[in-house]
Amino acid sequence: MISMLTPNILESTFGIQLKFGLFRYMFASINPAPIHVYSGSQYKSAPIVIVAVLAMGEQSAWTCQLQMVIKGGFLKKGWAVPVTVVDDVPCMTLEKSHRELARAFGLDVNVRSPFQGVTVFDYIKCARDSKVDDLLREHLKKEDPMAETTNSQQIIASEGRTKLFMDAKVPATIEVTLEAFTCGDGVEVPPFEMTVVATSKRLGAPQVQVCPEVLEWLSKAHKHDWSARIKSEERATPKKRQVSEVCDLPELQKPLKYQKTGKLAIYFNYRGQTGRWSRVQKKIDDLLSSCPQHNRSVIDNISENLMDLYSQYHHGEHGDLCGDDEAIDEGDKTCESKTE
């Protein structure tokens, strides 16, 4: 038995589903976070109360899920959307697999990929990444005001970005400004401010605030071609360049060397007791593209540990060297970081 009550008010509702013993209950609280509908919007959110008792069966784990019901657009009935609340902001993930979202926009949901050719989701993702990069640059400038490379064109490399994200204390949600555009029917759409969830990595679909204004903007923006804007954002923040390509690495003492092909690492060759040459290396994961002092500290720490290993493993004179093609690679060695 399922009963449903939908009051005639324009506010959002969060639904919670609970499993208790052999029964599963699904209910929703009214008015936890009202969303105001602006005049002229064809989208609205409405609260929904669902109480369900399912058939007897095996006992299973409890589950809780927040939902918001969306009405409007080309939807014939309410759509219960799973949401995540971040900084008190209900957010949904924009994925091209969202058939109900495609249905709301009037797209053909009978085809395999309703959002094929739609570029607005990628544009929002690029705008999010660009805004996060701006915040990271501001943090670097505060940390080192005299740094010459801390400017609007500075590259924030993917390696070390997560640590820098944490150090900069980037807010969980950020505001991005999306450019004005012209619809196919000639209607001018002004710049739009959207709240999105900030992420330390550039991968992943964007999470945006669920509200009528965002849905109204998306209903128009999904028809626009954002390819040129996406390409310009990607050129500004290249994803595949390694830190070793965009920053100066400090010189190493012999016999240590940098390995720059593939994953950046420091290695040395040593002669074992049998006279066979082998190689030991340590990969470097936490360099920053524009923080020389941090990079020097990381590399000095790794170098000190590797030199300790070299003293233990190498049998022969300190100056003994061999060609890299003569040494047997023993892979990455775990060196415990030394702290003062």
User: pTM to 2 decimals?
Assistant: 0.57
Instruction: Give the rounded percent of residues in the chain with a pLDDT score beyond 70.
Output: 63
Q: What is the CA radius of gyration of the chain?
A: 27
Given a cut of 80, whether residue 165 has pLDDT beyond it is: yes
* pLDDT given for residue 298 in this prediction: 80
Summarize the confidence of residues 44-52 as an average pLDDT.
Answer: 47
pLDDT tens string 74-86: 999 999 988 999 9
Instruction: Give the rounded percent of residues in the chain with a pLDDT score beyond 90.
Output: 30
Burial class of 317 by CB neighbour count within 10 A (0 to 12, 13 to 18, 19+):
exposed
Summarize the confidence of residues 298-322 as an average pLDDT.
Answer: 79
Q: Is the dihedral of CA 135, 137, 138, 143 positive or negative?
A: positive
pLDDT tens string 278-303: 888 888 866 655 566 667 778 888 88
* pLDDT given for residue 57 in this prediction: 65
Given a cut of 70, whether residue 320 has pLDDT beyond it is: no
* pLDDT given for residue 312 in this prediction: 86
What is the full DSSP assignment across 212-238?
HHHHHHHHHHTTS--HHHHHHHHHHS-
> Per the structure block, which two tokens stand in for 187?
């209607």
Cβ atoms of 137 and 152 closer than 8 Å? yes
Given a cut of 80, whether residue 19 has pLDDT beyond it is: no
Residue 94 CB contacts under 8 Å (≥ 6 apart), including other chains: 101, 121, 124, 205, 206, 207, 208, 218
Rounded CA-CA distance 287/68 in Å is 41
